[in-house]
């Protein structure tokens, strides 16, 4: 039985007073839930959130990490530094990083390995664009991203994967539960070929316009173990409802 997992990706949003109000309202809203829950603010707010989350069960994560351990790399933040700030999770290979920062599968693989060495649990993001889906290439694109990032990992323990179709991120156009389930089942098949021992325990999250209104039907699918949530995670009521639905 896989424990549901719901992760908030704040992207480049946040401000001191806003963060405090959001986290306090979210924790107050969150009553009965069995999902693991992670908040990923921008790097500079990790310390503030670590304090706000205090002894609650809600965990802290980052949105990216460097592929390098340490050195003269201006602007980079290492996985170990994130660990020092209290992060336990890190998102790796988000489509916005692939698109705007030209992150390759090889770079994503190096980041995954750094994260695991530092004791962080990485969440590997994969997903196809609208054009790729229309060309019938969705599965081959996702498979190439998975193999490119995971081929050299010794095993698939200590990892989660988020399927985030690029056309559904921030657009309000969520994949249907059936479309998402079909891709999740495909992803589980691909990872089974890589590591049959751990594939059935691996948590597969869906991301792309998840809201309070569509979360339950997505989570009802056999291979959808939770969500990576962008926009709706900036609204305490909406995010608490998604966590409760998981």
Residue numbers at the binding site for ligand PEP (CB under 6 A): 9, 11, 164, 169-170, 207-210, 228-232
Q: Concatenate the DSSP letters of all residues of 17-51 into one string.
A: HHHHHHHHHHHHH--S--SEEEEE--GGGHHHHHH
Min dist. Cβ of residue 227 to ligand PEP (A): 8
Which of residues 8 and 156 has its CB atom nearest to ligand PEP in the complex? 8
Interatomic CA distance for residues 35 and 21, integer angstroms: 22
Min dist. Cβ of residue 154 to ligand PEP (A): 27
Min dist. Cβ of residue 74 to ligand PEP (A): 26
User: What single-letter DSSP state applies at residue 2?
Assistant: P
Which of residues 107 and 166 has its CB atom nearest to ligand PEP in the complex? 166
Min dist. Cβ of residue 51 to ligand PEP (A): 25
Which of residues 99 and 200 has its CB atom nearest to ligand PEP in the complex? 99
Residue with tokens 């997903």: 127
What residues act catalytically?
Answer: 94, 164
Q: Which residue is nearest to ligand PEP (CB)?
A: 230
Which of residues 122 and 208 has its CB atom nearest to ligand PEP in the complex? 208
Interatomic CA distance for residues 30 and 38, integer angstroms: 13
């Amino acid at each position: 039985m896989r424990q549901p997992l719901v992760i908030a990706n704040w992207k480049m949003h946040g401000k001191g007073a806003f963060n405090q109000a959001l986290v306090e309202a979210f924790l107050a809203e969150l009553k009965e839930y069995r999902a693991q829950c992670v908040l990923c603010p921008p790097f500079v707010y990790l310390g503030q959130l670590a304090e706000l989350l205090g002894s609650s069960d809600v965990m802290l994560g980052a949105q990216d990490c460097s592929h390098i351990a340490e050195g003269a790399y201006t602007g980079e933040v290492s996985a170990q530094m994130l660990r020092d700030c209290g992060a336990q999770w890190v998102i790796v290979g988000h489509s916005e990083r692939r698109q705007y920062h030209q992150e390759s599968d090889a770079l994503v693989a190096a980041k995954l390995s750094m994260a695991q060495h530092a004791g962080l649990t990485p969440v590997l993001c994969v997903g196809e664009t609208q054009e790729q889906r229309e060309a019938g290439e969705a599965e081959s694109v996702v498979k190439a991203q998975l193999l490119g990032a995971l081929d050299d990992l010794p095993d698939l323990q200590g990892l989660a994967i988020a399927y985030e179709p690029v056309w559904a991120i921030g657009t309000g156009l969520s994949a249907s539960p059936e479309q998402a389930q079909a891709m999740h089942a495909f992803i589980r098949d691909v990872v089974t070929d890589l590591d049959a021992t751990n594939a059935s325990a691996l948590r597969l999250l869906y991301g792309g316009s998840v809201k309070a209104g569509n979360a339950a039907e997505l989570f009802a699918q056999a291979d959808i173990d939770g969500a990576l949530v962008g926009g709706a995670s900036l609204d305490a009521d909406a995010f608490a409802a998604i966590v409760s639905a998981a």
